[in-house]
Amino acid sequence: MKVFSRYKYLIAILLGFTLGAAVVAGGIFAYNFFYPSNSAKAGTSNSVINNLNQTVFIGPTNIPDIIEKVEDAVVFIETTTRSASVNPFFYDPFFREFFGDNFPFSSQESRSVGSGFIISSDGYILTNHHVIEGATEVNVTVKGFSNPFKATVIGTDFELDLAVLKINSDKKLPYLNLGDSDKMRVGDWVIAIGNPYRLDHTVTVGVISAKGRPLAITDRSTGKTRVFKDLIQTDAAINPGNSGGPLISLNGEVIGINTAVNAEAQGIGFAIPINTAKQVLDELIKTGGVSRPYIGVYLQDITKDLADYFNLKSTEGALISYVVPNSPAEKAGLRQGDVILKINDKTIKKASDVSEIVSNSKINQKLVLLIYRNGRTMYVSVIVGKKPNQ
């Protein structure tokens, strides 16, 4: 009996151990099923995601290589602007009575900085117009050279916010290749390089957030407003001093020129598409500006109140609110208050219709305008001129 009891005792222990092992194993399986391990989670947060047998890269890995190839061609631009100021007593009749007009003039000097990039080995540089606007002296610092170069302004365009500079060097200079901004897609990675806050060759990385953005930017120092129609929006950080620097694709090519940041929002910067610059680059270098068709009128749409005031039958047409002196419009006899109804037999419904027709015209082309003036209609011929650079 004692032998049999000892045998049952051993069997009970063995069964209990087996049952406990099964419970533990089942618990481990259930935990791993419902709560994947940290190593499994980490696999989805690395640089790749495997989904439906496709590998999608979250971030580019060749950015350091691209930067090494392009950064030497990104330049630091410092401008000096000098202006004369008059002694405040100059306008006082009492002091002028005794001292005449021999008051000394003092010179005020201000400095500003920006970025640019070399586009040819012989020293042509592309930047923003607002970076060098009004400057009496422009100095360019190139990486690898101990002293800055004195730059010559070759060409500028206010509306496109573009400027071409030239520096002379005994050595061939590094330069950047211009890409095709039309081929870039929303979501493509881009690299912005510039000199924000005098921190030279600062690199920021992001993606193209949108294309074709319209934007009006008023320059605080001059009060002038630029109206852009086709900007690239990016979340790559663009700060003061980045202006004029390149926005670069992962091919190492320039696809935009950094130009503005939205001060009211984080992560919203804008760049001029490089294709816009390529269209006018040769003209800027050869002539110093960009030729645009122009007749010299300021226009506004016709509201119901204006239609009633001018005894018009409808709100179609464009009202001339101002005629630029010595412009083609003034020479043709157009006046403030005239309403443009047709141009070359094309009906004008709103002010932008006139702008579109003129911008698509050629310089020296004749436009025949049907206008309404003082209760009657008449035809006026205008010869399209070249718009002066602001």
pLDDT tens per residue, range 57-69: 566 788 999 999 9
> Going by CATH, does the domain composed of 293-386 fall within 2.30.42.10?
yes
Active-site positions read 130, 161, 243
3-state SS string for the chain? CHHHHHHHHHHHHHHHHHHHHHHHHHHHHHHHHHCCCHHHHHCCCCCEEEECCEEEECCCCCHHHHHHHHHHHEEEEEEEEEEEEECHHHHCHHHHHHHCCCCCEEEEEEEEEEEEEECCCCCEEEECHHHHCCCCEEEEECCCCCCCEECEEEEEECCCCEEEEECCCCCCCCCCCECCHHHCCCCCEEEEEECHHHCCCEEEEEEEEEEEEEEEEECCCCCCEEEEEEEEEECCCCCCCCCCCEEECCCCCEEEEEEEECCCCCCCEEEEEHHHHHHHHHHHHHHCCCCCEECCEEEEECCHHHHHHCCCCCCCCEEEEEECCCCHHHHHCCCCCCEEEEECCEECCCHHHHHHHHHCCCCCCEEEEEEEECCEEEEEEEECEECCCC
Ranges 33-37, 95-99, 282-286, 365-369: which has the least confidence: 33-37
Sequence spans of domains, the chain: 2-36, 67-166, 181-287, 293-386
For residues 275 and 44, the model is more confident at 275
> Going by CATH, does the domain composed of 67-166 fall within 3.40.50.920?
no
Ranges 6-20, 186-200, 267-281: which has the least confidence: 6-20
Judged against a pLDDT cut of 50, whether residue 326 lies above it is answered with yes
Same CATH fold assignment for domains 67-166 and 181-287? yes
The pLDDT tens digits of the residues spanning 295-321 come to 999 999 999 999 999 888 899 999 999
The pLDDT tens digits of the residues spanning 40-52 come to 343 333 445 455 5
The pLDDT tens digits of the residues spanning 95-122 come to 555 555 555 555 677 888 899 999 999 9
The model carries a pTM of: 0.71
**What confidence score (pLDDT) does residue 216 get?**
87
Q: Into which CATH architecture does domain 181-287 fall?
A: Beta Barrel (2.40)
